[in-house]
Structure 1
Amino acid sequence: MTEPLFRDDAYLREAEARVTAHTPEGGIVLDRTVFYAKGGGQPGDSGRLAWPGGALEIATAVKGDGDDIVLVPAEPTPLPPVGTMVQQTLDWDRRHRHMRIHTALHLLSVVLPYGVTGGAIAADRGRLDFNMPEAPGDRDAIEARLNALVDLDLPVTEDWITEADLDARPELVKTMSVSPPRGQGRVRLVRIGHGDAQVDLQPCGGTHVARTAEIGALKLGKLENKGKQNRRVTILFDD
């Protein structure tokens, strides 16, 4: 398995690792990695690998067999041999923008408390699809409430819950089309705020900022009708 270093420290930008395998498609598997693998609407990380006598650019990271994370080179090139120690470096600016948008989408699900039917994250924007019979009425009010939550500078932390406890608390799962990852006996929860100031708690495997103020100012983008009861809401950085 690949040890997901980003799980313990989403701010870790570099790390050494050993190549454990190559995939038939030309991907690289490491024993541990700072690269987040595509999932939950969040893109896989990009960056660079370097080793004595070689280097290559990583276009993305995806999930492989079992708990492996596969790093996908940006172009066909000789790979570091199995057993080689490599230095991995994230495209940090891109990852950090993903972290900001991902956390902002959690806040959007607080402002619009409807079932989530889909979502996507990019470096400059994100969107959620809601099971919402009518389009939200007051754009300015939604945007203002979203930015008010950002400005509270709430801590963003993680906790864990057993799969059995999650089954007993179905209200924690906001996504209607995607179930939290299972199979290890426990599920990761992301909490925004603490105690009386807690505003959100839901299962999530992505990367997030440490405090909401780090997200920065947001603006509301398109509000789209995507079906009889499906509304798409896009948010963007206001910079």
Structure 2
Amino acid sequence: MAASTKLVYQRFMERINHTSKIISVRPVSELPTSDQGLVPANSGIEHAIVTDSTIFYVQGGGQPSDVGAITSNVQSPSLFEVKSVRHPASGSQILHLGRFVPIGTPGFNPGQEVEQAIDAETRSLHSRLHTAGHVMSLAIHALIREGVIPPLKESKASHYPDAAWVMFEGTIEGKHKDAIQAKTDEFVRSASPVRIHWWSMEELKEKCFGVTEDFRLPEGEELGRVVEMEGLGSYPCGGTHVKDCSLVGRIVVKKISRSKGVSRVSYTVE
């Protein structure tokens, strides 16, 4: 069984550079058909690189992947532009999808040591958006406890720059938008520390919001990764986050939409 790619960012979110070793470099055309489907047409992606470890966030959990570069000055000055990072359809060797630049640049060899560098500005935006989604959801839960909003069940979320929203089963009326904004502003001003924990399934179910009936830990894992906004609440989460709630900037509650018994609250950060 092939060794898994170690997800360094899960424990060291502040790192933007990391040294790893090449496992494989393959043209996209040589990937399994199921993995070739991860590459959009006309994306400019030509190769998939697998390394033994990565600081690149892997797309999933409502958060887009990191982008950046993989380089090496050993043997030849090669640069691989990372455009997307994805889980393969089978196995746990993470695919760094992109291209060597300029065209014709020599590639990497298995076992070769390389330097990974993520785009820090993109990571910062994605982290702010992800933390912001949890903060706004926790504000909604607080309003439910206060009796301002009727009981709801949180279902899913998206934290993309052009599509950031949280979804609840039940009705959130438009008149609640100002209350959600005010409570969200309060939680941001609290500057509550954002902490990462590794909890058992039992503890996770007891203490976390957003645990759906079909939630499962990754195969072979006994502890789940949790993000806690101290004093506000926790979520099972594999994403990247800022160090405290104030660092998201201003969260703007944009719109509340309702359809078929489900309410979606969209937001952005400024």
TM-score by length of 2: 0.78
Aligned to 1:236: 268
| Cα separation, partners in 2 of 1:207 and 1:177, compared to 1, 3 Å | farther
Identity of aligned residues (%): 24
Q: What residue ranges of structure 2 are gaps of 5+ in the alignment?
A: 32-46, 142-151
8 A contact 2:8–2:54 mirrored in 1: yes
Q: Distance in 2 between matches of 1:134 and 1:237?
A: 21
8 A contact 1:97–1:124 mirrored in 2: no
Match of 1:144 among 182, 186, 190: 182
Aligned to 1:211: 244
Shift of 1:219: 0.9
Please tell me the residue identity of whatever aligns with 1:221: K
3-state SS of the aligned residue for 2:121? helix
Q: Distance in 2 between matches of 1:231 and 1:115?
A: 10
| Cα separation, partners in 2 of 1:177 and 1:92, compared to 1, 3 Å | farther
Q: Distance in 2 between matches of 1:145 and 1:17?
A: 43
Q: How does 1:61-100 map to 2 (within 5 A)?
A: 61-64=85-88, 65-73=90-98, 79-100=107-128
Aligned to 2:170: 132
Match of 1:172 among 208, 231, 245: 208
Q: What residue ranges of structure 1 are gaps of 5+ in the alignment?
A: none
TM-score by length of 1: 0.87
| Cα separation, partners in 2 of 1:218 and 1:234, compared to 1, 3 Å | same
CA-based RMSD of the aligned residues comes to 2.2
8 A contact 1:132–1:229 mirrored in 2: yes
Q: How does 1:26-65 map to 2 (within 5 A)?
A: 26-52=47-73, 53-64=77-88, 65=90
Mapped pair 1:187 → 2:190: no
Structure 1 stretch 102-111 or stretch 76-85: which is displaced more? 76-85
Aligned to 1:3: 6
8 A contact 2:198–2:226 mirrored in 1: yes
Shift of 1:49: 1.2
Mapped pair 1:156 → 2:159: no
